[in-house]
């Protein structure tokens, strides 16, 4: 990329997580509690959030659903954030052990996101548009580096923003346009500024509905 027309892609640190005492300024007061209330009212989602096996899950709202301003994260955080589209989004992760959070040298490498989808996201009748499936996968992949930045992990990857370099997705079965899905993303490896990741979309019974492979690249302060 050329330095001409450079953009400011500095990390915004908009992760919202009261359990971690991460509360960005100008966050809507009920954003986190409303998402927790919604997903814990659905048995299979509650099982994911409240199970303590293998360790306790820590929930958070990602940056894309808590925009810093009307010039940031508007596609997911504003355009899709309606009762007929993306009604709620809540992510969670499980530290490997009690020291994991506090150790700056050990990043979080696996994150899941719960999405409450509305009927306004259909393509064919009652079926989720493929582009929307790609969107929720892409957002969940991006949450991994974003979370590690918010947690102060020391790798140079987390001192700047990362962007999608490639995303290959396979659709395994139709996804209902209205209801809840879980997207889980994890790191397969790191090569310099590149983070190699995979993801899967699952439903209430754990059935896989889509899988993806992706490469993300940490950008320099100016691109």
Statement: the pTM of the whole predicted model exceeds 0.75: yes
Instruction: Look at residue 51 and tell me whether its pLDDT is greater than 60.
Output: yes
Express each pLDDT in 153-190 by its tens digit.
998 889 888 999 999 999 999 999 999 999 999 999 99
Q: What's the mean pLDDT in 39-48?
A: 98
Phi, psi of 201 (to 5 degrees): -105, 125
Cα–Cα distance measured from residue 94 to residue 60, given in angstroms and rounded to the nearest whole number: 12
**Residue 2, pLDDT score:** 35
Q: Do 80 and 136 contact (CB within 8 A), yes or no?
A: no
Q: Do 61 and 24 contact (CB within 8 A), yes or no?
A: no
Alpha helices in the chain (DSSP H): 31-40, 43-50, 74, 130-150
Q: What's the mean pLDDT in 40-60?
A: 96
Instruction: Look at residue 53 and tell me whether its pLDDT is greater than 60.
Output: yes
Residues ≥6 apart with Cβ < 8 Å to 208: 172, 173, 200, 201, 202
- Three-state SS at 19: helix
Which among 169, 106, 111 is positioned nearest to 140, based on CA atoms?
A: 111
Domains parsed from the chain with CATH numbers: 18-218 (3.10.129.10)
Express each pLDDT in 68-119 by its tens digit.
999 899 999 999 999 999 999 999 999 999 899 999 999 999 999 999 999 9
**Residue 160, pLDDT score:** 87
């Amino acid at each position: 990329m050329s330095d001409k027309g450079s953009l400011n892609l500095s990390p915004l640190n908009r992760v919202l997580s009261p359990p971690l005492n991460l509360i960005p300024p100008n966050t809507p007061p009920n954003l986190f509690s409303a998402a927790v209330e919604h997903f814990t009212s659905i048995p299979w989602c509650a099982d994911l959030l409240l199970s303590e096996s293998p360790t306790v899950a820590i929930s958070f709202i990602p940056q894309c659903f808590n925009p810093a301003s009307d010039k940031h994260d508007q596609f997911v955080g504003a355009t899709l954030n309606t009762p007929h589209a993306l009604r709620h989004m809540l992510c969670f992760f499980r530290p490997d052990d009690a020291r994991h959070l506090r150790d700056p040298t050990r990043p979080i490498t696996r994150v899941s996101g719960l999405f409450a989808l509305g009927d306004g996201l259909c393509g064919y009748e009652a079926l989720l548009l493929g582009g929307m499936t790609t969107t929720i996968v892409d957002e969940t992949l991006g949450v991994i580096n974003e979370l590690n930045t918010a947690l102060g992990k020391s790798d140079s990857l987390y001192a700047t923003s990362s962007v999608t370099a490639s995303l290959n997705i396979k659709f395994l079965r139709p996804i209902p346009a209205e209801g809840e899905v879980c997207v889980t993303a994890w790191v397969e490896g790191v090569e310099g500024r590149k983070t190699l990741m995979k993801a899967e979309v699952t439903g209430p019974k754990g059935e896989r509905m889509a899988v993806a492979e992706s490469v993300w690249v940490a950008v320099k302060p100016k691109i």
